[in-house]
Amino acid sequence: MSDDWNAFITEVEPAPAADGPLARRRLAVKDLIDTAGIRTTYGSRLYADHVPDRTATAVQRLVDAGAVVVGKTHLPEFAWSVLGQSPWYGTCRNPTRPGKTTGGSSSGSAAALAGGLCDLALGTDTGCSIRLPAAACDVVGLKSQWGLISIDGVFPLVPTIDTVGPMARSVEDVALAWSVLTGRPVPEAGLAGLTVGLLRGAPAVGGAFVPDPSDLAEQWVADLERLGARVVEREIPEPAASTWPLFDHEAAISHRATFPSRADEYGDLIREKLERALEVDPADVERAYAAVREWRLYEPDVDLYVSPCVTVDLPPEDVPEPDVRFAISAYLRWVNMIGWAALAVGNLQLIAPRDEVVLAAGLAWERG
């Protein structure tokens, strides 16, 4: 099939498939994730000709289960953007909403799914990067609970919050891929008897931006209740300090081998972000780490939460990233910091501390 959406940076001739639960499923892999013998650019100019000699654990598990890699998908430079724009590889286009952003940074994975170029995809999510493209392109994506799915062989951005997760056109396919990635059984579908917290707001993760309240989650209440859930209004507590210094500190460490020594080989957007990251106050970093450790001890009094992924109008594909960075990701970023799982089914976001809970709820939702 023709890639009309610039979803792939590198297309691959599929290898013979192994037998298994994913036999002959076409797999698109975000180009942040290593694949032995296949060019892996990390969306950058620095690694434009990089060919790893290893395959990331997550990819290998899917291939061993029968999936066949068909390409390495578009992403913004080093996966540090909420849009599908790249100074080196062009703009990824949205098959579902032409002219609108695909979201980032797993832009190509979502576009390839929406455009029918693959059956499964792997993405990464450090602040919104699976769920935002899933919402923008109307596919399904799992931001796994932190630490469950191996990030071995993935170029790091912020290791304290980096995650890898499966994407597909259905919750059923995401759950099957998740089972292969984790070695755990696919959860039984179920919402009956669960208490769901309706979120009309999102906690701020620090800085000047405060998310606006939204009533968008109201649209899903009747169906959740029809499926046997009890829906109650809830809020998520705020962290005790801004978490951004943690993000900037770890991002600077991830790039210290090449930045600032090779700063001229970075695009303008990420160069500016890294320059700011180098100036972070160590005392603020310590406070951020303490706040995140404390926040991750929070135990909710509901089984899961429901919220939108995106509460603002989807911007055009060529909008300047700083204009929309915080508003478009406000209901997504906090989940990474608290370390929980979140499943995006289009713009519907199901959130809980554990993957099994959001997958079970998502399966029940999909089957109606």
Residue 274: per-residue pLDDT? 98
User: Poorest-confidence range of 1-5, 107-111, 148-152?
Assistant: 1-5
Tokens of 115: 């455009």
Quote the pLDDT of residue 17.
Answer: 84
Residue 290 lies inside a defined structural domain of this protein: no
In a domain, 197, yes or no: no
- Beta strands 68-73 and 26-30: pairing type? parallel
Catalytic hit among 30, 100, 143, 273:
30
Sole residue written with tokens 């998310």: 211
- Section 88-95 average pLDDT: 98
Task: List, for residues 4-32, the tens digit of each pLDDT value.
Answer: 999 999 999 988 888 999 999 999 999 99
pLDDT reading at 335 higher than 80: yes
77-102 average pLDDT score = 98
* Segment 132-144 mean pLDDT: 98
For residue 155, being part of any structural domain is answered with yes
Residue pair 10/39 in contact (Cβ under 8 Å)? The answer is yes
Residue 352 has a pLDDT of: 98
Instruction: Label the pairing between strands 348-352 and 304-308.
Output: antiparallel
**Within a domain: 1:** no
Task: Classify residue 216: in a domain, yes or no.
Answer: no
pLDDT value of position 16: 87
Q: Is 30 a catalytic residue?
A: yes
Averaged pLDDT of the chain: 97
**Do residues 154 and 165 make contact, with C-beta atoms less than 8 angstroms apart?**
no
CB contact at 8 A, 132 and 102 = no
For tokens 């892999």, the residue is: 29
CATH code of the domain covering residue 154: 3.90.1300.10
Answer yes or no: 105 catalytic. Answer: yes
> Is residue 1 over pLDDT 80?
no
Total of domains in the chain: 1
The 10 Å Cβ neighbour count of residue 118 is 28
Q: Per-residue pLDDT averaged across 148-160, rounded? A: 98
Range of the domain at 153: 8-182
Q: Residue 334: enclosing H or E segment and its boundaries?
A: helix 333-338
Question: How many residues does this entry show for the chain?
Answer: 368
Q: Each residue of 44-81: pLDDT tens digit?
A: 999 999 999 999 999 999 999 999 999 999 999 999 99
On whether residue 218 sits in a domain, the answer given is no
- 143 counts as catalytic: no
Q: What's the pLDDT at 80?
A: 98
Per-residue pLDDT band at 257 (split at 50, 70, 90):
very high
Nearest to 292 by CA among 254, 346, 237: 237
Give the single-character DSSP code of 77. Answer: G
pLDDT tens for residues 166-222? Answer: 999 999 999 999 999 999 999 999 999 999 999 999 999 998 899 999 999 999 999
Q: Please give the C-alpha separations between residue 37 and each of 49, 74, 82, in angstroms, as whole numbers.
A: 11, 18, 29
Residue 228: left (phi > 0), alpha (psi -120 to 50), or beta?
left
Q: Is 2 inside a domain boundary? A: no
Which pLDDT does position 305 carry in this prediction?
Answer: 98
Phi then psi for residue 30, to 5 deg, are: -55, 135
Helix (H) or strand (E) holding 90: strand 90-91
* Average pLDDT rounded to a whole number, residues 103-124: 98
Q: Which two tokens stand for residue 243?
A: 């978490």
How far is 328 from 286, CA to CA, in rounded Å? Answer: 28
Token pair listed for 102: 């695909």
Active-site annotation holder among 44, 86, 105, 109: 105
Instruction: State the Rg of the chain over Cα.
Output: 19
Is 63 part of a structural domain of the chain? yes
Q: Given a cut of 80, is residue 331 above it in pLDDT?
A: yes
Please state, for a pLDDT cut of 90, what percent of the chain lies above it.
98
Residue 156 tokens, joined: 């790091």
Spatial separation of the C-alpha atoms in residues 84 and 80, rounded to whole Å: 10
Q: What is the pLDDT of residue 144?
A: 98
Strand blocks (E) in 99-236:
120-124, 140-143, 164-168, 195-199, 230-234
